[in-house]
A and B are shown apart, each in its own frame.
Chain A
């Protein structure tokens, strides 16, 4: 079955750039699914960051849009997130997820990776 695995630095300095990658295994990133990023701040709820299709089409959360870039690498079967000018409020567990073919519901999730913004 499809599995997702996030990777990236656990610590980023304020005003720096956060870069995360989600590796997809057990299935093709070029399949008919959108690929999503969600984050969860400590003790808080879930925030949708954005989603991307293998064509490169994407949707971003307007609250992050000016700082956010998402990309997809079909050759490596992975997709990525880059967030610039990070602040303490960007400290969170970042999840990648697959949207179901039946609609924009996230049916497969990575285990999550913790990112702390601190000097």
Chain B
């Protein structure tokens, strides 16, 4: 299986901060990577697919970069509605696997 790691596991930030989350895969993915946002009690929401493509309807303050094994999700200016947990997911091999998540909370 392709193992996914994320760092940090949690980050405390303030509204307006720039937040960067890193995802690393145990084998190369090309750009077969997605980022999801999940709020408590809710289903995940697709933010970024194919490593850098913004899902329709998602704010442009979210951006994704990377290819191969190293990827980043950046929130350019954190908004109150962005406090949530973020997961990466590889879509290159079966079984699909997710990172353990990064919780973004209020400093």
The interface of chain A, by Cβ under 8 A from chain B, is 38, 45-48, 51, 59-63, 95, 97, 100, 102-107, 109-112
19 A/B residue pairs, CB under 8 Å, sorted by A: A46-B36, A46-B44, A48-B95, A48-B98, A51-B96, A59-B94, A59-B95, A61-B95, A62-B95, A100-B49, A102-B53, A103-B50, A103-B91, A104-B32, A105-B50, A106-B34, A106-B89, A107-B49, A109-B45
**Majority DSSP secondary structure for residues of B touching A:** loop
Q: Which A residue's beta carbon lies closest to that of B97? A: A48
Which of B87, B89, B94, B95 makes the CB contact (< 8 A) with A105? B89
B67 beta carbon closer than 8 Å to chain A: no
Which of B32, B46, B91, B100 makes the CB contact (< 8 A) with A45? B100
Which of A45, A61, A107, A109 makes the CB contact (< 8 A) with B101? A45
